[in-house]
Amino acid sequence: MSYIMVDIEADGPIPGDYSMICFGAIVVEPSLSKTFYGQLKPISEKWIPDALAVSGFSREETLAFGDPQIVMRNFAAWVKTETVGRPMFIADNNGFDWGFINWYFHHFTGGNPFGHSSANLGSLYKGVVRNMFKSFKHLRQTRHTHNPVDDARGNAEALLTIKAEYDLKISLE
């Protein structure tokens, strides 16, 4: 099984009504060399300026981004090429990130290569350290910049550290 750490940026709180602007993914393995980055043209006229500002892009810039159907097909092909066995989606905030990725996959490609499951890095860490008040974020090496590849990389680094420091039983092929 391959774990794919994903981070997304959006211009609002929910998929469909609002748009996923960009996302990054990285295969969680020691080299952290297998990455994907997608920028997607908005699918809705609705957007929240403060939400979009997090991404660092203007509305005008996003209107020139790629066709969501093509970007999602390319991402599905990348997932298939870069993973061994069943891919597992994992994110810092999988409730948000998974919602957008899952919706976009189903809407634009007819299916999700991750299936119906995802994992939450924060919850995993809380379980490993047996404390619901602890955060894994101090384990990131790459600065959290809201560039989704940087953020996915930092989260992948944290997962690798959790595996090493806490002897987490996880297969990262």
**Burial readout 12-44 (b: 16 or more C-beta within 10 A, e: otherwise):** beebeebbbbbbbbbbbbeebebbbebbbebbe
- The question of whether 146 is a catalytic residue gets the answer yes
Q: Is 169 exposed, middle or buried (0-12, 13-18, 19+ CB in 10 A)?
A: exposed
Closest CA to 166 of 134, 129, 132, 126: 129
Let me know how long the chain is: 173
Q: How far apart are CA 57 and CA 68, in angstroms?
A: 17
Structure tokens at 118: 């995802």
Residue identified by tokens 């043209």 is 41
Structure tokens at 69: 């159907």
Catalytic entry in 106, 116, 138, 146: 146
Which residues are designated catalytic? Answer: 146
